[in-house]
Chains A and B, each alone.
Chain A
Amino acid sequence: MDTLLQQIVNGFVQGSVYAMVALGYTMVYGILGLINFAHGEVVMVGAMVAMSVIHLLIGSGLPPLLVLLISLIISMVVCMALGYGIERIAYRPLRNAPRLAPLITAIGVSMVLQNLAMMFWGREYHAFPSLLPNNSHRLSGAIITEVQILIVLIALGMMGGLLLLMHRTRLGRAMRAVAENPSAAVLMGVNINGVIAITFMLGSALAAVAGIMISANYGIVHYYMGSILGLKAFTAAVLGGIGNMRGAMVGGLLLGLIESLGAGYIGDLSGGFFGSHYQDVFAFFVLISVLIFRPSGLLGERVAERA
């Protein structure tokens, strides 16, 4: 019983990170109808930049919370610039090209980012400095750290804010209009290029926060962390119904729970044949199953249309 509760707590924390990254995928998909393959690398860059800033400021005697806030802001700004750059270089020139072209440039961007990060920060695993007091609380048998509580709270707050932005502001309305019908949106006076750029920047800012959260939770940063995280977050977006923001949130949390419960119990279920190192496999089977049985996802309204 204790393990069950513990796995649920872990899954929820992990899931809120997935949800944040999945939002980036789903927002871009909703507007442009393409998968931003480089999104996972943006998460990685966010974590790396934050780590560097923290290392730079940690000796300056500033209060830890302020250091964390500064690093958060800097890494969000860097990632937003990165997101804008990716859109400008890899996607905008190819908006009317065949579908294959932007997919290939996105792969190229992702390779470039990954290898630049490797040259800059090295191949090794870095320890992510822990700034917050790592007190843990017992929750009827399960252990939850303060960092984890903070992660869930920040994730919920940012998702709530995003929903408000989408449904209560002019910008949100413009974004939904472009997603619905780009040419009609142009006729209504929406600046499409601006809206798309802002979408990429918003998604990248969320990615930066997610990158910091996941590294603070595990305590390590690595140049390769982006690709598998991106794959899982994409799975979360598909699970919830790609293009649907609430779907991304639900899908992220659900995938986190599936993964952590699966990894916790697969050993017992398979008689010890499979161990918890198969954790990464679950996301893939979830993805395949969703594509077979419900391609539009849990909350998706439309069946995915053909190219």
Chain B
Amino acid sequence: MRNVLKHLSSKDKRGAWIAFVMLAIVLLVLPFFTDALFGRGWVRIMDFALLYIMLALGLNIVVGYAGLLDLGYIAFFAVGAYCYALLGSPQLGLHLPFWIVLPLGALLACIFGVLLGAPTLRLRGDYLAIVTLGFGEIIRIFLNNLNAPINITNGPQGISMIDPIRFGEFSLGKTHELFGLTFPSVHLHYYLFLLFTLLVIFISLRLEDSRIGRAWMAIREDEVAAEAMGINTRNIKLLAFAMGATFGGLAGGLFAGFQGFVSPESFGLTESITVLCMVVLGGMGNISGVLLGGILLVVLPEALRHGSGPAQQLLFGKTLIDPESLRMLLFGLALITVMLWRPAGLWPSNQRRRELVAENDAAHL
């Protein structure tokens, strides 16, 4: 970012600043605007969109930068969410504060990531895909069954009455009056999630241009060549995996605090695929693309949910296909079509674009 700004002339720089300030204002007033125009339900959807974007950005590090296919990414989300739920609910009678539980969840997810990655990352990428797929299922089996003989996770019923996110006396679970404005709970969560999303974006951006980021991309393009250049491929891959897991755990903790309820239902394979779809559709390895993919794949299914029922009523006189399975079918089709015809995604990264141009030039010679 800074490099880009340096190259701009002072006039362009002012333009960039104006655009930046405008964007900030839009993001700040967005919840009030949405609330007034579409109703509070959509602010809630925006909150979930931010959580999913955080997940997608985390997965982008693993799949987009390092080129490692993780099919059980939601398991790390589950680890973070359950960590928060167990340590901040009546389930175990613990009510640890938010600022301890959230980092703990992220750390735990990171540890799981390392444990899972260490044996598999020595091998080819396909093994990682299937091991992570298995891990996702296993976590769900454990969450479902660890209610007997000792009740830890409360089984399929899940854990409810989770403490809201609270800073000292300021609870995000209640409506607050600040600066003469009324901030309902969903609005407050929106700002918190926005803050975390920006943090994740910032970290991703800095990583992309760093030595580590370039090492990841080198591994993605050609692992043998990367190793020949002196990159410790195993450790660097492990770092990508652990970092992705950490972001997943972080988002999971926020999810538990926001929702107030977690159950194994929320952490299935379909959720992993949804996040993967965001990354692939938007553009692997490109942050703007991932943001676009995340927003599209949260908003479109909502529109589908509201639109497909009436549309089918109109066409066939009854609801033939429920929107949920239609959504997953379309996600599957999207994965196939994007890979076949637009492998770099809807919004390819600059580097990919440069590569394609370079290839074309070479072809003309």
Contact = CB atoms under 8 A, between A and B. Distances in A.
A284 B134 contact: yes
Interface stretch (A75-83, A153-161, A209-217, A275-283): A275-283
Contacts of A228: 137
B238 interface: no
Which 9 A-B residue pairings sit nearest by Cβ, starting from the closest?
A: A111-B332, A108-B335, A112-B332, A108-B336, A115-B329, A292-B119, A284-B134, A108-B332, A35-B126
B63 A281 contact: no
A277 B145 contact: yes
A105 B63 contact: no
Interface of B: 63, 67, 69, 71, 119-120, 122-127, 129-131, 133-135, 137-138, 141-142, 145, 148-150, 220-221, 223-224, 269, 273, 276, 280, 284, 320-321, 325-326, 328-329, 331-336, 339-340, 343
A190 to B, nearest CB: 25
Highest count of chain A CB atoms <10 Å: which of B321, B328, B329, B339: B339
A101 B339 contact: yes
Contacts of A278: 141, 145
Given A118-B325, A119-B320, 9 more contacts: A94-B339, A100-B125, A100-B284, A111-B331, A115-B328, A228-B137, A288-B119, A291-B127, A295-B122
Given A111-B328, A284-B138, A104 B123 contact: no
Nearest to B122: A295
B329 A104 contact: no
A103 to B, nearest CB: 5
Contact of B321 (A119, A272, A280, A283): A119
Interface string A115-137: 11011000000000000000000
Contacts of B340: 89, 93-94, 105
Interface of A: 34-35, 37, 89-90, 93-94, 97-105, 107-112, 114-116, 118-119, 227-228, 231, 234-235, 238, 272-273, 275, 277-278, 280-281, 283-284, 287-288, 291-292, 295, 304-307
B126 A103 contact: yes
Given A119-B325, A291-B127, A101 B335 contact: no
A108 to B, nearest CB: 3
B328 A100 contact: no
A108 B334 contact: yes
A168 B129 CA distance: 35
Contact of A89 (B67, B223, B336): B336
A108 B333 contact: yes
A271 to B, nearest CB: 9
A97 B332 contact: no
A283 B131 CA distance: 11
A281 B129 contact: no
Contact of A107 (B71, B150, B221, B224): B71
A102 B124 CA distance: 14
Given A35-B129, A105-B339, A283 B134 contact: yes
B332 to A, nearest CB: 3
B129 A103 contact: yes
B63 A100 contact: yes
A100 B69 contact: yes
B325 A280 contact: no
A22 to B, nearest CB: 13
Nearest to B340: A93
